Amino acid sequence: MAMKTPMTRKAALSAAALAVLGSLLAGCSGGSETAEPSSSPSTSAAKVTSGDLGKALDRLVFQGTGAKSTDGGACLVRAVQDKKLSDAAQAYIVGKGSDDIAAVANGLREVSAMDAAIMLSPELRDKFDACVDAVIPPTTAPGATASKDQAYAPPKQGQELPQARQPDLTPKFPVPQGTSINASSQLTAGLVSMFSSYALNEDQKKTYAASGECLAGVVFQARFSQETLRFLAGGASIGVGSISDFLPKDEDTLIWKSKDFTSALVDCTASAKV
């Protein structure tokens, strides 16, 4: 996608501490893992209507932008359905009726940790951004020549969107080939740096820092290859996609996407004391 207007992205996705989950996961499938707490809105697996879901997502995603979707939230509905958000999670979003994506994701953890992770994943965030960009034109970049306002024409069906920015895979803390990672403490700085590249604000960066030791322990105990551990210790400011997209070994990607590993990461970020 093209360069975003920071104010637009932050307003459209005003996630707080729990947004750190976004950088950890990719390609997750929905599905309830825990029983519904009595205090939560209905999480029945019965499907909600696309209209109701569209209205709820419109309120959630466009909060703070001063705009609303022009299609009743249909673009947003397609986004969550494409990422396989479960019926129970969709029902929760409709029942919650919130404009705080962090609060919704936090509540979704009691429905399904996987659904909460999907809700804050970079992939879904990019899809939401595309829906917002179709309504709100990007502002003029700093230093650009000012001009009279022009009517914004959203992309036509089938028209390609601008290419997404590329990941930065340059290690912040280079680890020489052949160096062994023998302790979780060797991973902490690199993981905090890597995860922080996905943060939308300073609060999220603080949460990464606070959960760094816990995350490093989870990663170290997951039995990743030394090649992957060196990559993670390097702390590249990837910033796009998912960390799992760039792991050097397929078997390590499977570990990263596993439910047990995902749940452990969720627990680290959710319990971080900022």
Q: What is the mean pLDDT of residues 240-253?
A: 90
Do residues 99 and 37 share a domain?
A: yes
In the predicted model, what is the mean pLDDT of the chain? 76
Boundary residue ending a domain (116, 133, 150) = 133
Over residues 93-132, the pLDDT tens digits come to 888 887 777 777 777 777 777 888 788 777 788 888 888 8
201, part of any domain: yes
Distance (Å, whole) CA 261 – CA 24: 10
**In terms of domains, do 120 and 212 share one?**
no
Do residues 265 and 202 both lie within one domain? yes
Query: What are the angstrom distances between the C-alpha of 104 and each of 97, 177, 244?
Result: 9, 42, 24
| Inside any domain, residue 20 | yes
- Is residue 149 in a domain? no
Whether residue 87 is found in the same domain as residue 202: no
Q: Is residue 13 a contact partner of residue 101, using CB atoms and an 8 Å limit?
A: yes
Are residue 90 and residue 202 in the same domain, yes or no? no
**Do residues 108 and 225 both lie within one domain?**
no
What distance in Å separates the CA atoms of residue 40 and residue 44, rounded to the nearest whole number? 11
- What is the per-residue pLDDT across 176-212, written as a single tens digit (0 to 9) for each? 999 999 999 999 999 999 988 887 778 778 888 999 9
pTM of the prediction? Answer: 0.52
Domain count, the chain: 2
- 238 domain-assigned: yes
Q: Exposure of 146 by Cβ count < 10 A (0-12 exposed, 13-18 middle, 19+ buried)? A: exposed
| Torsion sign, CA atoms 196, 198, 200, 203 | negative
- Let me know if residue 96 belongs to a domain: yes
124 and 23 within one domain: yes
Domain assignment of residue 148, yes or no: no
Let me know: does 252 contact 232? Beta carbons within 8 Å.
no
The DSSP symbol for 158 reads T
Q: Is residue 97 included in any domain, yes or no?
A: yes
For residue 51, the number of C-alpha atoms closer than 13 Å in the C-beta half-sphere is 0
Residues 197, 175: Cα–Cα separation, whole Å: 19
Three state DSSP letters for 209-224: HHHHHHHHHHHHHCCC
Q: What would the pLDDT profile of 209-233 be if each residue is shown by its tens digit? A: 999 999 999 999 999 999 999 999 9
Domain that holds residue 103: 6-133
Residue after which a domain boundary falls, among 133, 158, 176: 133
Does one domain contain both 201 and 86? no
